[in-house]
Amino acid sequence: MDLRGELLIDGVWRTPVSAVRIPVVSPSTGEVIGQAPDADAEDVDRAVQAARRSLHLGEWRNASVDERAAVLDRALDLLMPRSAEIAALVTSEMGLPITYAGVQIPGALGVGRYFLDTAQRIPATEVLRTSCGPAAVLREPVGVVASIAPWNGPFNMAVAKIWPALVAGCSMVFKPAPETPLDGYLLAEALVDAGLPRGVFNYVTGDADAGRALVAHPDVDKVSFTGSTAVGREIGRHCATRFARVQLELGGKSAAIVLDDADLETTMTGLATGSFFNTGQVCASYSRVLVPRGRYDEIVGALVATAESFVVGDPFDPQTTMGPLVSTRQRERVLGYLEIGRSEGATLATGGQIPDGFERGAFIQPAVFVGVHGGMRIAQEEIFGPVACVLCYDTVDEAVAIANDSDYGLHGAVFTTDPGRAAEVAHRVRTGTFSVNSFTYNPEAPFGGVKSSGIGRDTGPQAVESYYELKTVNLTEDTIAPFL
């Protein structure tokens, strides 16, 4: 049964009120490969009301964590045999090479199980002994969650948003990015088939207007969003008016600081992934590479060779190591920044052109800018493409100052053979996440940003905790027993 013309609302696949459809375009060929409804405000309201109704009925909210985890674990069991199918959809929708997508999907399902295990270790009630007497601290679901995922990692980000919210007992409306709605249908189908009560999970596709209707809805208690800082600010304003909880994982302009004692091979391995993985469409990318003057030529040469080693091409070809950008619109954005960089006086050491034979689609060669200084737009603004900007420094103090000279604070790195120096730099760079001698995304530890990179943490135990409200019940010694 093809569900892609429908929305999941109140446990039933329904024809949307809106007759408008969003075409899903392959970034590899430019051809339309599917479509999804562009939900309007009435569709969104139906979904939110279904979530609110399920919360009020309480079947899911009042179930134990173990009972909720069992249902969500069944959904993961249903999805695992379809990993290859999901991977192919992700590759078709957004161009991630199939060799990477084939690993990413089972990994995402494993992260889902991590969230279930974590939730089962968090006590629903804790009793505190205080100077004012005993107090029980209850963890209760935050309520109705509106969750909006990005296109650059559609399936893994969906799992990371949905599983913590549901295992905590929330009801939710989930909206994928309009560029990548297709893989989420399989996920939604699995949740229904696993026995999730009606209305607990609702799947709504749509463009920006659907997102605005969702985050502004008065019955939404929390918004979880991953995407651009500009949209995050708009969401924050909506949530502030009604004091809705908000969790925002936004943009980045992360700096990788290469110290003078760094191992070249280790550094290039980290930068290959950190600067260019997923065609540079990663909010945590090392888009600024800070290099000591004494090793500038050596490291730039190695970085250029690393960029040139990528095989750009058809993402379904197992030999391809870099697929297209998500859309021709995104490619035009990246090409625009390449022109900005040149006009500011930076030099392209390699890349930045559309590869021969790949005029269709949204392909681009990975690029390395040299001669970059911190005041340039290419050193301050998020490009979101395979573009590494190399900046030179003379002292570690200067390198840290350059790294911190940013509106963003999502990720960062240091490359060095000295653990003590690594720890010193890690403490001094102001960012929510940091890696040493690598590019590491660790879903079992908190991930998120500071400054304009957002609020809250999307992974680790904190991801589950963020979907609870804490209620304190002040007790007397003769009333404490039911809470123990």
In Å, how far are 251, 289, 368, 405 from 286, measured between CA atoms?
Answer: 12, 7, 12, 15
On whether both 294 and 230 belong to a single domain, the answer is: no
pLDDT at residue number 471: 98
Percent helix, percent strand, percent coil in the chain, to nearest 5: 40, 20, 35
Task: Tell me the CA end-to-end span of the chain in Å, nearest whole number.
Answer: 49
Range of the domain at 95: 7-250+453-474
On whether both 339 and 267 belong to a single domain, the answer is: yes
What span, in angstroms and rounded, lies between the C-alpha atoms of 69 and 30? 41
Catalytic-labelled residue, pool 140, 249, 308, 398: 249
pLDDT tens track for 219-263: 999 999 999 999 999 999 999 999 999 999 999 999 999 999 999
What span, in angstroms and rounded, lies between the C-alpha atoms of 184 and 252? 25
Answer whether residue 366 is part of any domain. Answer: yes
Domains contained in the chain, number = 2
Answer whether residue 307 is part of any domain. Answer: yes
Answer whether residue 442 is part of any domain. Answer: no
What span, in angstroms and rounded, lies between the C-alpha atoms of 266 and 181? 37
The tokens for 447 are 């991930």
- Over residues 172-188, the mean pLDDT reads 97
The amino acid at 17: V
pLDDT at residue number 2: 56
pLDDT tens track for 443-453: 999 999 999 99
- Over residues 12-18, the mean pLDDT reads 94
- Over residues 415-435, the mean pLDDT reads 98
In Å, how far are 288, 307, 338, 386 from 377, measured between CA atoms?
Answer: 12, 22, 10, 16
Q: What CATH number did the domain enclosing 166 receive?
A: 3.40.605.10
In sequence order, the 6+-apart residues with CB closer than 8 A to the CB of 241 are none
On whether both 371 and 405 belong to a single domain, the answer is: yes
| DSSP, res 354 | P
CA-wise closest residue to 455 among 233, 213, 157 = 233
pLDDT at residue number 199: 98
Q: What CATH number did the domain enclosing 319 receive?
A: 3.40.309.10
- Over residues 317-338, the mean pLDDT reads 97
**60 pLDDT band (50/70/90 cuts)?**
very high
**359 pLDDT band (50/70/90 cuts)?**
confident
Q: Is the full-model pTM beyond 0.85? A: yes
CA-wise closest residue to 386 among 343, 340, 335, 431 = 335
| DSSP, res 283 | T
On whether both 276 and 183 belong to a single domain, the answer is: no
- Pair 52, 214: CB distance under 8 Å: no
pLDDT at residue number 115: 98
Answer whether residue 444 is part of any domain. Answer: no
Give the strand pairing for 144-148 and 171-175: parallel
pLDDT at residue number 5: 87
126 is catalytic: no
| Residue in the structure block whose two tokens are 């999907």 | 105
Q: Which residues pair with 388 in a beta bridge?
A: 368
pLDDT at residue 1 is higher than 60: no
On whether both 120 and 62 belong to a single domain, the answer is: yes
On whether both 296 and 181 belong to a single domain, the answer is: no
pLDDT at residue number 324: 98
pLDDT tens track for 464-477: 999 999 999 999 99
Q: Is 274 helix (H, G, I), strand (E, B) or coil?
A: helix
CA-wise closest residue to 459 among 143, 164, 255, 217 = 164
Average pLDDT for the chain: 97
pLDDT at residue 406 is higher than 90: yes
Q: Which residues pair with 137 in a beta bridge?
A: 126, 472
**Torsions phi, psi of 383, nearest 5?**
-90, -40
